[in-house]
Structure 1
Amino acid sequence: MSVTSSIKSRASVATVPDASFTMVAALDVGTAYSGYAYAYRKEMDEGMDNVIVNNPWSSADKSTTTYKTPTQLLLNEKREFEAFGYEAQKRYAELHQQGRHERCFYFKKFRSKIASGQAGIPGEALRLALESEVASVYCQNMKGVGKLPIHSPGCTYVVADIGGGITDIVLHQKRTDGRLKEMNKGGGCLVGSSHVENSFLQFLVRIFGAPAVREFLDECQIEVIDILKQFEMAKKGMISDQAKPLSIGIPVGLERICRKKNHGEDLSVIVQRSMYRDKAKLADNTLHIDVTICREFFNSACLEIAKCIRNVLLDHNAKECTMLILVGGMASSTIVQDILKQELESKTKIQRIIVPPEPELAVLKVK
C-alpha cells in the first residue's frame, strides 16, 4: 500500500521496494528512542507477521527492557563513535567512575540529519517516509483487530504519532483503489513524551528548590540518568485507574545537595515543607507521589496535542472525519488515551480513538 497526495509530497513512502532487493530494512531514529526492523522481500506481501523486529534492549543493570533503545550517543575524545543506546549509558557511567567522562561527548534525545552515505547506505536504496504516514499504512494492514471503519473506501481519519519530542499529525482518506490519499499539508507540534519528563523535573524543583535541582542536574549526571530511567519505567507502568502511588528512589547526590542547600535538614522535612506535603511522602529514601500529581505530569503535553489535533480537524477536508488513530510510544499510555478522549470525543467530531497493538512499533512493522 502506498500514500498518494493531492498536494506537494513531503516524503516518499515506498512500501513496495524494487524487485531487485532481497531484503528491506526499516530504521526509526527517534528523539527519545530508536529501533530497526527488516523483512525478506518475498515474504513481505504475506503480512506484517513476517517483519522481524529487533529483540528488546535492556539497560546495563537489567532493570529496564524496551522495544527500542534510547537515542543516546557517546563519542570519544577524538569525536569518534564509541557507543549508542543503553550501551552508551553503560560506557559513559564507566568513564565517569574513571574520571575520564569530561574528555568525551555524550548526547541524548537529539534529532539527527540524514547522512546515508556515511552510514554505508547507497542513495538509490534509501526511501524516506514520514512517521505518521507509515503508521497509517500499518493500521490499514494490521491483523487480529477485525474490520475497522478506516478500511472502508471514502473513510477519512486522523493519525497522530506521539514521539519523544514531536507529535506528527496527518489527515488521510482511504481511496476506492485501496490506496491512501493525504488530505492536508500535515500538522503537529513540538510536544511528546519528553515534556512529561520535564513536568516531573519541575515537580522536583517545586519540592527541593531550583538551586538544588539545578546543581544535581549539572554535577550528578549518572544519577540523573538513573532517576529519569526510574521515572520512565514507572510512567510506562501507570494505568488510568491506578491508586498506588508512583515511587522514585532519591539518589544520594540529590540528598547530599539538598542537605547542603538547607543547612543539613532531613529530606523528609523538606518534602513536608513543600506545596506537595499532602501529595508526596518520603520513606526509606524513596519518594512516593500521589497518582493525582502523576496524572498532572501528562496534562500539559496532552492538552497541547489535543489542541493541535483540533486545528487539523478545522481543515475543510476533515468535515467527515470522526476517527483518530494514536501511535508512537506515548500512545500506549492509558492516561494519555483518557485525556485525549476527554478533550476530543466530547468537544470535536471525533467519535472513536483507535490504538493499534504495540503502537510504538507502528513505524517499523509496515509491510
Structure 2
Amino acid sequence: MFGLFKRLFYYNEKQVTCTESTGKHLLVAAFDFGTTLSGYAFSFRNDPTKIQTNQAWIAGSESLLSLKTPTCVLLNPHNECAAFGFEAENKYLNLVVQGEHKSWMLFRRFKMLLHNNDGLNRKATVEDITGKKMPAMKIFAMSIRYLRDHLVDALHKQVDAIQESDILYVITVPAIWNDAAKRFMREAALEAGLDNDRIKLALEPEAASIWCQNINTSIKTDLSKAGIQYMVVDLGGGTADISVHEKNLDGTLKEIHKASGGPWGGILVDRNFICWLTNIFGQAKMSKLREEDMEDYISLLRQFENKKRTITQDTDGLITFRLPISLINIHDEAEKLTVNKKFEQMKIPNALINDKLRVPANIVRSWFSESIEETIRRMTNLLSDSKMMNVSTILLVGGFGECKLVHDSVKREFRNKRIIVPQEAGLAVLKGAVRFGHWPGLVTSRIVKYTYEFSSMSDYDANIHGIEKRVTLDCYGDEKVENRFLKIVSVNTEVNIGKPIKAPGYTYLQINCDCVMAIYTSLEPNPVFVTDSECKKIGEIPLGYAKGKSKDENRIEVSFLFGDSELEVRVKILKDGSEIKKVIDFFDA
C-alpha cells in the first residue's frame, strides 16, 4: 500500500498530460447499467490504463459469453433487494420449483423505461415478470447499490485500506436519451447512496470512442490521426446508439453529428424469437410457460442468447433449439394438427424431434432483420449528410455489436468504409467510461439535440405581432410581447463542454414580482413563442425579487453551460455581480 501512495505522489508532482489521471480520487469505477447485462470496471489513479473488470459473475448451470451479469433485481416479500444478476434469476427459479415465488418479484430489462419517454417522472413505475409494479427509481437505485457494494467488496480483497469515498463513479447512459432520462439515472445513483460530487455521467458511444483510441491494435493507427472522422455504433440489448466523432490536433475528440438511434438492440431479436414460437404453439401455451414454468422459460432465453451470437450470413441448414417439455407436451389431437400444419406451411419437415426444434437458418436470420435493417437505415441516413462525407471508419461496439450477423450485414452494406469490431466489443463502453473518469477533458464538444431558450419579453411591433400579443408592463410602462422564445443555442450546433454560452443581449427582472425563469427546448431551429406546439418546458429557475428601482438596475445576463451530459443555467445580476446557478431538474417543469 505504501508503494501505491508513493506513486500517487509522484504523479501529482509531474506535469499532467493526456496519459495521466488528473483527478483527486484514488480510483475510477464505471458502471455499465445495461438493458440486458450490467457490469463494472475500475482502475487506480497511479496506473489508470490498467483497467480491471469483474471476472466472477456466476451463471449457475449456464455459460454465457459475457463478463457481465443480467440486469435483474429480485425482491423478497418485504420489497427488499434479495439478489441481483444471475443470482437473482437462479434464486427466483428455485423459488418457482418450490412453489414459493408468488410473493417475490423479479424485475428484468427495465432500463427501456427511460428510452424516449416524454412523460418520465420520479413516480414512474416498472413491472416485474408477472406484471406487479414497483417505483422505478427504487429498482434502479437497488441495482446501482448492488454494483457499488459488489465493487467495494472486490476492492477490499485487493487493498485493505480502500475507502468508498476514494472512488469516483462513472455511470454510462445512451447518448440518445433525453435530458430527463439522464437526470433520472443520476437521482437513482443518489438514492443508492452515491455522493453527488463523485458521480459523472458518460455517454455510451463517447466512452466506446475513447476506449478505441487507446487499444494496441491497428485501430489505434487508424484513429490516432488528427482530423480523422469515424462513426461509433453502440449496439446494446435495448438500443442502437450512434455518434460521429472527429480527432482533434491535441488528441481530444469532438462530436460532429448529434447522437441518433432507436430501440433496435438485441432484445428486439429475442422478442421476434418468442413471437415466432407463440405463432407456432399459441398464446396460451407461451403464457403458461412464462407463468408456471419460469425455470424453463429463462433457460430457453439463455440458450437463445448463446445461439444468436454465432449466426452468420453464411449459416446454412437447420439450427437446433432444445425446447422445454412443458411447451411441446401436446395431448390434444386438434392442437397437434394445428402445430404440424404450421410447420408444413413453412416447409419445415420433421421440425420437432422429441424436445429438439430444428429451424432453417433463413428463418432464424429473419428474427434479426428488423433490428439490423433499422440500424443500417439510420446509419445510411447519417452518412448521406454532406457533413459526413469524410467519415472513413465505422466502429461496432456493445454486446449486440459482437453478433457475427450484425458484422456481416454492416460490412456488406458499407463496402467503402472500414468496419472495425474491437476485441471484447461488449466491454468497450465500460472500459472507455473508466478512461473518461480519469480524463474527462478528452471530449471537448458535442452537438446539441435541441434548441435551448428561455421565456422572455420583447418590444411590441404592430407590423410583426398581433394585437393579442401586446401587454403593458405596469412597472416600466413599456409595451411588450410575452412568451417570446429567447434562443441561447440552436439544434445541431456544436457547443464546447464546460464553456458558458451567453444569451444575446440582456433581459431584466420585473419590479414587485417574485421572478421565475422558465427554460424551454424545441426541435425547431428558430421558434418564435414558447407557447408554440413544438416547444417543451424543461425546468424553472427562481430568481427572487428585483433589487433595483429601474430597468437598467435590474438587468441580468443569462448563460447556459453544457457539461457532464447535463445542463446548468447561470443568471448573473449585473447590478451587484451576484450569480444564480442551477442544474436543470427536468422533473419540475
TM-score for both structures, normalised by structure 1: 0.86
Instruction: Name the CA shift for 1:79/1:315 in 2 (closer, same or farther; >3 Å).
Output: farther
Query: Which residue pairs with 2:525 in the alignment?
Result: none
Secondary structure of 2:246's aligned partner:
strand
1:336 lines up with 2:406 in the alignment? yes
Which of 20, 29, 32 is 1:28 aligned to?
32
Shift of 1:27: 0.5
Query: Which residue pairs with 2:81 in the alignment?
Result: 81
Shift of 1:70: 0.8
> What CA deviation, in whole Å up to 9, does each residue of 1:19-58 have, x standing for no partner?
32111111000001001111111101xx3xx100110533
1:43 lines up with 2:47 in the alignment? yes
Structure 1 range deviating more: 286-295 or 35-44: 286-295
Once the two structures are superposed, the pairs formed by residues 124-139 of structure 1 within 5 Å of their partners are 124-139=197-212
Instruction: Name the CA shift for 1:103/1:212 in 2 (closer, same or farther; >3 Å).
Output: same
Once the two structures are superposed, the pairs formed by residues 237-316 of structure 1 within 5 Å of their partners are 237-243=310-316, 245-256=318-329, 258-260=330-332, 263=334, 265=336, 270=340, 273-278=343-348, 281-316=351-386
Secondary structure of 2:257's aligned partner:
coil
Query: Which residue pairs with 1:351 in the alignment?
Result: 417
Whole-Å Cα distance in 2 between the matches of residues 108 and 265 of structure 1? 33
Paired amino acid for 2:378: C
Shift of 1:237: 2.9
Secondary structure of 1:59's aligned partner:
coil
Shift of 1:331: 1.3
> What CA deviation, in whole Å up to 9, does each residue of 1:66-102 have, x standing for no partner?
2111111111112110111100111101111222211
1:327 lines up with 2:373 in the alignment? no
Paired amino acid for 2:429: V
Instruction: Name the CA shift for 1:277/1:213 in 2 (closer, same or farther; >3 Å).
Output: farther
Contact 1:71/1:85 (8 A) holds in 2: yes
Paired amino acid for 2:35: T
Instruction: Name the CA shift for 1:280/1:127 in 2 (closer, same or farther; >3 Å).
Output: farther
Identity %: 33
Contact 1:57/1:66 (8 A) holds in 2: no
Contact 2:348/2:359 (8 A) holds in 1: no
Instruction: Name the CA shift for 1:54/1:365 in 2 (closer, same or farther; >3 Å).
Output: same
Instruction: Name the CA shift for 1:177/1:352 in 2 (closer, same or farther; >3 Å).
Output: same
Whole-Å Cα distance in 2 between the matches of residues 122 and 18 of structure 1? 19
Contact 2:343/2:349 (8 A) holds in 1: no
Instruction: Name the CA shift for 1:234/1:146 in 2 (closer, same or farther; >3 Å).
Output: closer
Secondary structure of 1:103's aligned partner:
coil
Paired amino acid for 1:53: T
Whole-Å Cα distance in 2 between the matches of residues 259 and 15 of structure 1? 67
Whole-Å Cα distance in 2 between the matches of residues 226 and 121 of structure 1? 34
Determine which structure has greater relative contact order: mean sequence separation of CA pairs < 8 Å that are 6+ residues apart, divided by chain length. 1
Query: Which residue pairs with 2:66 in the alignment?
Result: 66
Structure 1 range deviating more: 304-313 or 243-252: 243-252
Secondary structure of 1:92's aligned partner:
helix
Whole-Å Cα distance in 2 between the matches of residues 108 and 242 of structure 1? 31
Contact 2:323/2:356 (8 A) holds in 1: yes
Secondary structure of 1:187's aligned partner:
strand
> What CA deviation, in whole Å up to 9, does each residue of 1:167-221 have, x standing for no partner?
1110101111111011122111111000111111122123223343344334332
Structure 1 range deviating more: 122-131 or 216-225: 216-225
Query: Which residue pairs with 2:196 in the alignment?
Result: 123
Shift of 1:280: 6.7
Whole-Å Cα distance in 1 between the matches of residues 291 and 357 of structure 2? 21
Contact 2:73/2:108 (8 A) holds in 1: yes
> What CA deviation, in whole Å up to 9, does each residue of 1:276-306 have, x standing for no partner?
3427722231112222222212111100001
Instruction: Name the CA shift for 1:215/1:64 in 2 (closer, same or farther; >3 Å).
Output: same
Paired amino acid for 2:94: E
Whole-Å Cα distance in 2 between the matches of residues 72 and 57 of structure 1? 13
4+ residue runs over 6 A deviation: none
Paired amino acid for 1:81: C
The structure whose residues are more often strand, as a share, is 2
Contact 1:240/1:335 (8 A) holds in 2: yes
Contact 1:207/1:276 (8 A) holds in 2: no
1:90 lines up with 2:90 in the alignment? yes
Shift of 1:310: 1.9
Paired amino acid for 1:89: E
Contact 2:213/2:219 (8 A) holds in 1: no
Secondary structure of 2:46's aligned partner:
helix
Shift of 1:139: 0.8
Instruction: Name the CA shift for 1:134/1:16 in 2 (closer, same or farther; >3 Å).
Output: farther
Instruction: Name the CA shift for 1:194/1:264 in 2 (closer, same or farther; >3 Å).
Output: closer
In our comparison, the structure showing a higher alpha carbon Rg is 2
Paired amino acid for 1:110: F
Query: Which residue pairs with 1:102 in the alignment?
Result: 102
Unaligned runs of 5+ in 1: 1-13
Whole-Å Cα distance in 2 between the matches of residues 73 and 246 of structure 1? 32
Instruction: Name the CA shift for 1:203/1:15 in 2 (closer, same or farther; >3 Å).
Output: farther
Query: Which residue pairs with 1:193 in the alignment?
Result: 266
Query: Which residue pairs with 1:10 in the alignment?
Result: none
Whole-Å Cα distance in 2 between the matches of residues 54 and 271 of structure 1? 48
TM-score for both structures, normalised by structure 2: 0.55
Secondary structure of 2:351's aligned partner:
strand
Instruction: Name the CA shift for 1:280/1:163 in 2 (closer, same or farther; >3 Å).
Output: farther
